[in-house]
Every structure is written in structure tokens, then in C-alpha cells.
Amino acid sequence: MHDTASKGFLVEACVENLNQALIAEKKNANRIELCGRLDLGGITPPRDMIISVLDQLRIPLKVMIRPRGGNFIYSDSEIESMKSEILFCKDNGISEIVLGALTEKGELDMATISSLLSLADPMEVTFHKAIDDVNDFMGSLGQLTTLNSIKSVLTSGAGISALLGKLLIKKAIKKFSNSFNIIAAGSITKENINKIHAELGAKEYHGKKIVGDLTL
């Protein structure tokens, strides 16, 4: 059993290449989120990288579906690109993906989200940190409960870090944990995760440095 699991929580390492994924696995990450261009906040990784990581990783893998950096308001062509990447993941044995979409009014783009979820089935889906950009955080989480395919929500509680957003994260865990997992994120590292867990009591945590330096 991984050390983190024995402490009562799961850690998900966010990586952008095969080498980082394998190092994170060795350092006892429980799960990997694979992205491209973490300097842009994470976008869909190249298809050959998805296959390489899937082939060599032994722990569970999620793949980011995001056509570009910036906001989460997508054009029709960007949505079509997301659909193509979802089908690629599904056809190649990926079991879980990460996505999100908003409207110009700062609300969930429920039509787009529902369309993507329908295409993704039976893969599991995490709704990503787009949730932190909505106008009504708790109300939007309530909307996501109507979508049965949403397994998890990744959030910093509308803050720039998990600690700064701790009040909303704790509120979300209390109200919505029967509907989906709340994965706490935002400046969580190997050094501070125990302190953050003592504050939040979440079941899952996410970060680029959550199991330490991945450049070794």
C-alpha cells in the first residue's frame, strides 16, 4: 500500500511527460493526471504521449481534455477538437478524463458539458478547476450533481490555493461528498500536504509537487 493511502487520503500527481509520470509513481503517487503544457495550466497532451504513459504506468491514469490555455469558454471548433480527443482516449483504453466548460456569463456550459459526457461514456470524468472561475461556486457544484458521469471535482475552493480556499472546499465536501469526490488542489506539496489535510480532511489531493520534485 502507498504511504499516502495508509494515511487516509489519496494523492494525484499532475505531470506533463512520461518521465515525470514514472518518477511520480516511484514516489508513491496513487494516480496520475497527464497534461500537456503545464505552463499554460495544462492542456490535452499529445496522443503519442498518452499511449506511452498508459503502456508503462501501473497506477491509474487520467487525461486532461482542454484544447488551449486561457479561459474555459470554447468555440464550436474547440468543442469538436475536445470531442475528437475524448474519442481517442476512449478508443485507446483510457478509463478517466478531466474536462470542463463555462459560458461567457461565468456559468457552467451545461449543454457542452452534457454533450462531452455523453461521448465519454463509459469513461469516468473529473470536472477540473474551471469550477473555481464560476460566479456561483456552490450553486454550480449543485448543477454538477445532476450529471451522473461526474466522478470528481478538482478545486481550490475558488481561491489561489487550497489553504486560501479552505472554507469553500470544506463546505463542498460536507454538502456534495455523496455525489462526487472533492479533490483539493492549489499549491499542495509533499512538504505541506499533512498540514493541509489536517485543515481540510479531504479524501483526495492534487498537485505538481505533491510527491516531491519530478525532475530527478
> Domain for residue 37, yes or no?
yes
> What's the alpha-carbon Rg for the chain, to the nearest Å?
16
Question: Distance from first CA to last CA of the chain, Å, rounded?
Answer: 23
> Domain for residue 91, yes or no?
yes
Beta-sheet strands, E only, within the chain = 10-15, 31-34, 61-64, 96-99, 124-127, 150-155, 181-185, 204-207
Residue 202 contacts residue 182 (beta carbons within 8 Å):
yes
Q: Give the CATH number, domain containing residue 22.
A: 3.20.20.380
> Domain for residue 130, yes or no?
yes
How many domains does the chain divide into? 1
> Domain for residue 190, yes or no?
yes
> Domain for residue 213, yes or no?
no
Residue 169 contacts residue 157 (beta carbons within 8 Å):
yes
| CA 42 from centroid of its chain's CA atoms | 10
> Residue 73: its pLDDT value, please?
98
The grid coordinates listed for 177 are 461528498
> Domain for residue 165, yes or no?
yes
> Residue 215: its pLDDT value, please?
85
> Domain for residue 216, yes or no?
no
> Residue 148: its pLDDT value, please?
86
How does DSSP assign 67-127, residue by residue?
Answer: SSSS-S---HHHHHHHHHHHHHHHHTT--EEEE--B-TTSSB-HHHHHHHHHHHTTSEEEE
Grouping H, G, I as helix, E, B as strand and the rest as coil, residue 173 is: helix
| Domain interval for residue 148 | 3-207
> Domain for residue 40, yes or no?
yes
Q: Point out the residues of the chain with pLDDT beneath 50.
A: 1-3
